[in-house]
Amino acid sequence: MQRKFLTNLSLLLFLNFLVKPFWIFGIDRTVQNIVGSAEYGWYSSILSFTFLFNILLDFGITNFNNKNIAQNNHLLNKHFSGIVVFKFILAILYVIVTLTAGLLWGYDSRQMYFILILGINQFLLSFIQYLRSNISGLLLFKTDSVISVLDRLLMILICGVLLWGGVSHQNFKIEWFVYAQTTAYLITAFVALIIVMKKAAFKRLHWNISFFVLIIKQSYPFAVLVLLMTFYNRIDSVMLERMLDGETGDIQAGIYASAYRLLDAINMIAVLFAVILLPMFARLIKDKLPVESLVKLSFTLLYTVSIILSFGLCFYNHEFMDLLYVKHVDDSAAVFKLLIIGFIPISSTYIFGTLLTANGNLRWLNTIAFTGMIINISLNYFLIPHYLALGSAYASLITQSFTAILQVIMVQRLFRFTLNKRYLFSIFFFSAGVLAIAFLATISGLQWKQGFFITLLASFLLAIALKLIDFRAISGLLRNNRQME
């Protein structure tokens, strides 16, 4: 299973690193620089608002289905047609609730129009994720890897033409950006649907009220978890735009979006780990096989990457923001410095939270997530009026750290993993070593790009020296470990 994890993770990372960085830095960043921080911040806050009600689109079906199909492949044929109908019913409910909430929140006509279009996009994205949960649940990771980048590849092509193709004499509008996403999601959903229909031997849609009730009962703990995590991950931009007056709120939301973009880019590494780990953990747990070695391998790899990138980017925060943006660089750099450190606890949650999900410990995860949501909203409420976007960054870092620590404690209580003191010392020494390397590089007088490269290289070599990255062990796994293949 470790061999399957490594080989498929490599493919997934390769495809995503090939496509998504260009989307984030070539397209998304360019759009913000062209339309301005205020306009992009306005759009970002509306986008975050539509995320808040995503629970109604999915109701935990995707995570439940991924785990369920991984453990019971034969249920794909039985469940697929019924769940598709249920997804469309949920989509109608989502649009009604989101538009109603937007009216109650006091959004104007243009904002309401964006809520509608972005709400449609959210449904398409949710539908794609559900279809992918079937593909990955069948352990068809190569196919899932291609689908995972198809929407972004299409957006790059469409937006690239609109930005640089000279197809219009008008300045690029944020509306075009949204429509490009809609088109890309539609095409990707269609492709993924065809693949799953073939695997499920689909014949017709199935309407069954008792089946819908059964799915709700089984998936609602996943739904509550998604709702709580969405609130404490997405509420920041909404609160910035709503709590601060007029253009100030839009600008601060734009500054936060600027700083968050690079975190979002590297966060895809952690997300891809979770995509592969959830069905693998679920299969191992079902077959009563040990999970400790896979947990240790995945955590070590992801923690090593998160420490190197977080500390390196933190020490060169201003340089990177100045490289990416033309306005509000100082403010974005201050926010980014806090957000990027948050990648360390975020990475941890993608390992240990995924393990708890696969093990069915949803009650504990929901308790942790609910506490995180209360902390995040409370901190935002008190910090935003005084520190603006920087206050939201503090709230995010504190919340992510708190939830990560609780998840680690819960995993240890449930699984009783062996505490290897030598391994823990290596982790601590590595973290301190990377911090020292990054600090020395910044005061060395080197040009910042050279300093950043040296930080990455020296930290990577330190990880190898401490055997946190052990190529010999990984090579042995790839050659010899064929269990469950």
pLDDT tens per residue across span 317-376: 999 999 888 788 899 999 999 999 999 999 999 899 889 988 888 888 889 989 998 999
Instruction: Give the model's pLDDT for residue 480.
Output: 40
pLDDT tens per residue across span 58-96: 776 766 665 555 566 555 666 666 677 778 888 899 999
Whether the predicted pLDDT of 477 surpasses 50: no
CA dihedral 17, 19, 25, 29 (to 10 degrees): -140
Whether the predicted pLDDT of 478 surpasses 50: no
How large is the average pLDDT for residues 147-167?
Answer: 86
pTM (2 decimals)?
Answer: 0.73
Structure tokens, 200? 């499920």
Instruction: Give the model's pLDDT for residue 78.
Output: 63
Instruction: Give the model's pLDDT for residue 151.
Output: 87
Whether the predicted pLDDT of 482 surpasses 50: no
Among 158-167, 225-234, 382-391, name the one with the lowest average pLDDT: 225-234
Bigger pLDDT: 245 or 162? 162
- The 10 Å Cβ neighbour count of residue 216 is 14
Closest CA to 438 of 324, 319, 323, 332: 319
Domain boundaries, the chain: 2-418
